[in-house]
């Protein structure tokens, strides 16, 4: 007898080929039968008029800590995600010298929410393994976290001995199960790394056959230097390269996206294994702290706060001609919105133009005041901006090797995560992609859109038994209404679940049934070795 049978739907198997009518039979967490099934099952799920798809694979998230705090991954499961890849942009929860480093580096960190019982990367994965998980989790190890584990807050590149220690931590993390190595070169401390150092570490990823993912050093005025460095690093290291959220930002020339695609195509012709991904909306988000020049971020929270208290130093910070967001130097404060604050939750959702006006101060000063008021949680103050171009996103999606990612956190609108937000589309990124770019704009067919969410990212990650509806594959399955799936997130209400998802299976366990979340959490930690 089958454990689960899904009947009456049309299968989009992840290959990009046309859908077809068939039933799907599941037993012991695997797909065992596809076709006109005449047997019996303990549970039968109706899928009449619905699409039966592989579970969505989110290739780029920052849920490292939030999954440890609440492994049910409500915001993701409610929109059909069954696998997350954490540890992106050079930031991960491990390895660490001490628990204080975890608190500083972990995205979405919440004091007291988790027993920090790990230091090594393997121990971090063991911690997740002991939790009920709503999704499968594959984890990358971040260059920035490794750098802090060796150099602390030092505002300089690693020397040769320190590089040896960093390489050893990278190898130990891959031994512990890391599925890849990531860098965040636009952020401290990734911004300190030299190309030679990056290539030396990427060589380890290449030798161990794990993916190298990078948030490049620049995506605005000097976008070609940023993408060129990423391609050169992969070429020199022989590494498989994933360029994270490739879309250029405000300040880049209009031709930056087609040029970036041309650079990738030329690199492929010379043997570089490169692919990229996009966020399916035109909002960009980051820590407010990242807007400060590198020298102003050295020394930890207390040192930063002291600098912001000094009027002369504050004015020097404001004169920074090359902030991470050129919207800031251009004074486009009406396009920058406060997204997360513990100390000033009442201001979340307002633009910094509105916050400055409300407080009777310059918006730049308002941003620095909010950093100070956040205190020890300064590194978790988040903002978002309308930095991307819709035309650039569509052009990227037209490329066959472009995956779709969330760049967000797995959250829940209750418990210790109820006030957190990772991005404006965190609760609806996959739904928005299928609604806006597939159904409404028709940038991609439904079948191709599903491939970008399933088989493509799974193959890029190096997971062979997920991302496809085929016999023998793990039973990660999402059943949804292609005509009704929708995101309901906006600036004022970013924590509303997507709709249109009927059923979600994770390793054969029914996480959603008839549009309702169950108590089943059957996700697993995936390890590279």
Complete DSSP assignment for 229-288? HHHHHHHHHT--EEESS----TTS-TTHHHHHHHHHHHHHHTT--EEEEE-SSSEEEEEG
- Rounded to 5°, the CA angle 471-34-501 comes to 95
pLDDT digit string, tens, across residues 370-396 = 999 999 889 889 898 988 999 999 999
Give the lowest-confidence range in 11-25, 181-195, 318-332, 430-444.
318-332
- Record the tokens describing residue 449, joined without a space: 């859109």
323 pLDDT tier (thresholds 50, 70, 90): confident
Q: Outline which parts of the chain fall under CATH 3.20.20.140.
A: 54-282+388-509
Residue 492 has pLDDT above 80, yes or no: no
Q: Is the pLDDT of residue 437 over 80?
A: yes
Closest CA to 328 of 282, 294, 293, 297: 293
What pLDDT band is residue 265 in, cutting at 50, 70 and 90? Answer: very high
Asked if 64 and 106 touch (Cβ cutoff 8 Å), the reply is yes
Burial of 157 (0-12, 13-18, 19+ CB in 10 A): middle
Q: Is the pLDDT of residue 251 over 80?
A: yes
Interatomic CA distance for residues 60 and 411, integer angstroms: 15
- Contact (Cβ atoms closer than 8 angstroms) between residue 144 and residue 492: no
Q: What mean pLDDT is predicted for residues 296-312?
A: 91
The token duo for 243 is: 């360029």
130, burial (CB in 10 Å: exposed 0-12, middle 13-18, buried 19+): exposed
Q: Within 10 Å of residue 267's Cβ, how many Cβ atoms?
A: 20
Sequence-distant (≥ 6) Cβ neighbours of residue 347 within 8 angstroms: 338, 341, 355, 358, 370
Query: What's the burial of 20, exposed, middle or buried (CB within 10 Å: 0-12/13-18/19+)?
Result: exposed
Max alpha carbon distance in the chain (Å)? 77
**Angle made by CA atoms 117, 120, 126, in degrees to the nearest 5:** 60
The pLDDT of residue 278 is: 98
Q: Tell me what the mean pLDDT of segment 513-517 comes to.
A: 98
For residue 21, what is the enclosing H or E element? strand 20-21
User: What is the average pLDDT across 74-85?
Assistant: 98
Cβ-contact 202, 237 below 8 angstroms: yes
- pLDDT above 90 (res 55): yes
Q: What 3-state class would DSSP assign to 84? A: strand
C-alpha–C-alpha distance, residues 130 and 118, integer Å: 12
Tokens 């299928």 map to which residue? 434
Q: Band the pLDDT of 107: cuts 50, 70, 90.
A: confident
Q: Is the pLDDT of residue 420 over 90?
A: no
Where residue 111 falls among pLDDT bands split at 50, 70, 90? Answer: confident
Is the pLDDT reported for residue 414 higher than 90? yes
Q: Choose among 312, 456, 323, 327: nearest CA to 387.
A: 327
Q: Are strands 30-35 and 23-27 parallel, antiparallel or unpaired?
A: antiparallel
Beta-sheet pairing, 23-27 with 2-7 = antiparallel
Beta bridge partner(s), residue 506: 509
What's the predicted TM-score (pTM) here? 0.93
The average confidence (pLDDT) of the chain is: 95
Check residue 28 and give its pLDDT: 98
Confidence of residue 185 (pLDDT cuts 50, 70, 90): very high
Contact in structure between 73 and 84 (CB atoms under 8 Å) = yes
Amino acid 210: pLDDT = 98
Looking only at the bridges linking them, the beta strands covering 20-21 and 211-215 are unpaired
Contacts of 55 (CB under 8 A, 6+ apart): 80, 81, 82, 83, 454, 466, 476, 477, 478, 504, 505, 506
54-282+388-509: CATH topology = TIM Barrel (3.20.20)
Average pLDDT over residues 265-285: 95
pLDDT at 10 over 80: yes
Q: How far apart are the first and last CA of the chain?
A: 33
């Amino acid at each position: 007898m089958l454990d689960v049978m899904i009947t009456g739907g049309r299968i989009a198997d992840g290959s990009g080929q046309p859908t077809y009518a068939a039933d799907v039979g599941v037993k012991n967490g695997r797909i065992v039968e596809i076709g006109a099934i005449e047997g019996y099952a303990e549970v039968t799920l109706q899928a009449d008029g619905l699409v039966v798809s592989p579970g969505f694979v989110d290739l780029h998230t920052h849920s490292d800590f939030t999954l440890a705090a609440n492994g049910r991954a409500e915001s993701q499961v409610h929109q059909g995600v069954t696998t997350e890849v954490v540890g992106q942009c050079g930031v991960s929860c491990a390895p660490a010298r001490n628990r204080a480093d975890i608190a500083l580096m972990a995205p979405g960190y919440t004091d007291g929410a988790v027993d920090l019982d790990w230091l090594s990367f393997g121990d971090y994965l063991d911690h997740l393994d002991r939790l009920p998980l709503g999704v499968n989790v594959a984890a990358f190890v971040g260059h920035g976290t490794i750098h802090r584990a060796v150099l602390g807050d030092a505002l300089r590149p690693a020397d040769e001995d320190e590089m040896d220690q960093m390489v050893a931590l990278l190898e130990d993390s891959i031994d512990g199960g890391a599925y890849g190595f990531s860098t965040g070169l636009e952020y401290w401390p990734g911004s300190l790394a030299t190309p030679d150092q990056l290539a030396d570490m990427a060589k380890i990823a290449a030798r161990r056959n794990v993916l190298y993912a990078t948030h490049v050093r620049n995506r605005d005025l000097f976008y070609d230097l940023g993408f060129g460095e990423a391609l050169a690093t992969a070429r020199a290291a022989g590494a498989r390269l994933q360029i994270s959220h490739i879309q250029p930002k405000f300040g880049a020339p209009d031709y930056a996206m087609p040029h970036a695609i041309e650079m990738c195509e030329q690199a492929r012709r010379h043997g570089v294994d490169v692919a990229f991904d996009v966020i399916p909306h035109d909002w960009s988000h980051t820590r407010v702290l990242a807007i400060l020049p590198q020298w102003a971020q050295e020394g930890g929270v207390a040192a930063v706060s002291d600098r912001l208290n000094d009027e002369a130093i504050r004015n020097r910070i404001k004169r920074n001609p090359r902030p991470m967001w050129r919207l800031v130097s251009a004074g486009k404060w009406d396009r920058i919105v406060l997204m997360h604050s513990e100390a000033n939750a009442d201001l979340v959702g307002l633009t910094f133009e509105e916050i400055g006006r409300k407080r009777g101060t310059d918006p730049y000063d308002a941003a620095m005041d909010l950093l100070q008021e956040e205190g020890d949680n300064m590194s978790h103050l988040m903002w978002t901006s309308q930095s991307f171009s819709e035309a650039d996103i569509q052009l990227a999606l037209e490329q066959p090797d472009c995956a779709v990612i969330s760049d967000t956190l797995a959250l829940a609108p209750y418990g210790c995560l109820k006030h957190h937000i990772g991005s404006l589309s965190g609760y609806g990124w996959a739904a928005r992609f299928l609604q806006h770019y597939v159904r409404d704009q028709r940038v991609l067919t439904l079948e191709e859109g599903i491939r970008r969410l399933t088989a493509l990212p799974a193959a890029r990650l190096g997971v062979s038994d997920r991302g496809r509806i085929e016999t023998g594959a793990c039973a990660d399955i999402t059943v949804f209404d292609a005509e009704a799936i929708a995101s309901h997130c906006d600036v004022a209400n970013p924590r509303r679940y997507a709709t249109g998802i009927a059923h979600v299976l994770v390793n054969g366990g029914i996480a959603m049934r008839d549009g309702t979340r169950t108590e089943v959490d059957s996700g697993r930690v995936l390890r590279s070795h």
